[in-house]
Amino acid sequence: MPVTADQFKSALRRWASGVSVLTTLREGGIQGITVSSFCSLSLNPPLILACIDKKARSHALISRHRAFAINVLRAGQERLSELAAGHAGERGNWLEGFPHRKAATGAPILDDCLAWFDCSLETLHDGGDHTIFVGRVEAAGHSEGRPLLYCDGDYHRMAESRPKSHKEPRGAE
């Protein structure tokens, strides 16, 4: 028997991820979309991927500009995530008033995020109702802090991690 939509979504809700906002340029400013499907793909060449709903407004903008940035959110940036998820209406996705800068491709990189990847569009692949956008990382950076997490339809923060020196040596567990 094929999987039902409810079974599929319920199982997916158990998957924990970080939260990122993919940014592109729209006429007059920034377009943001909250994305948990961000993933590293290759070290050499440096590639990442993100899966974007074909109905999302960002979809056409990425294809048109052939560039985008991935902004990895830090703990405390829940409001930014909600805006870019469209939960405050279309203008929320415009991320008006968010300080930003440009690196190599011209895609907008948001200030105060935990990490960022400035990407030119390498290739894209069909993925059902989504498209897999593969980005070549032209520039990247990070700052100190903890990531924002998402699981079971809600935001979470990372528990205090054990100091590295206290971790068991490999094979000892």
- In the complex, the residues that contact ligand FMN under the rule CB under 6 A are 19, 33-37, 51-53, 56-58, 81, 84-86, 93, 150
| Least distance from ligand FMN to the Cβ atom of residue 42, Å | 19
Is the CB of 46 or the CB of 86 nearer to ligand FMN? 86
Is the CB of 57 or the CB of 65 nearer to ligand FMN? 57
Other Cβ atoms less than 10 A from the Cβ of 13: the count is 13
| Least distance from ligand FMN to the Cβ atom of residue 163, Å | 30
| Least distance from ligand FMN to the Cβ atom of residue 59, Å | 7
Hey, is 92 helix, strand or coil?
A: helix
**C-alpha dihedral, 101 to 115 to 151 to 37, nearest 10°:** 70
Q: CA-to-CA distance for 154 and 134, rounded, in angstroms?
A: 27
Residue nearest to ligand FMN (CB): 86
Distances, alpha carbon 107 to alpha carbons 22, 24, 48, 70, 137, in Å: 10, 6, 15, 9, 12
Is the CB of 104 or the CB of 149 nearer to ligand FMN? 149
Is the CB of 36 or the CB of 105 nearer to ligand FMN? 36
Q: CA-to-CA distance for 154 and 24, rounded, in angstroms?
A: 25
Q: CA-to-CA distance for 97 and 6, rounded, in angstroms?
A: 38
Answer for the pair 21, 35: CB distance below 8 angstroms, yes or no: yes
Omega before 45 cis (within 30°)? yes
Is the CB of 35 or the CB of 72 nearer to ligand FMN? 35
| Least distance from ligand FMN to the Cβ atom of residue 84, Å | 6
| Least distance from ligand FMN to the Cβ atom of residue 144, Å | 23
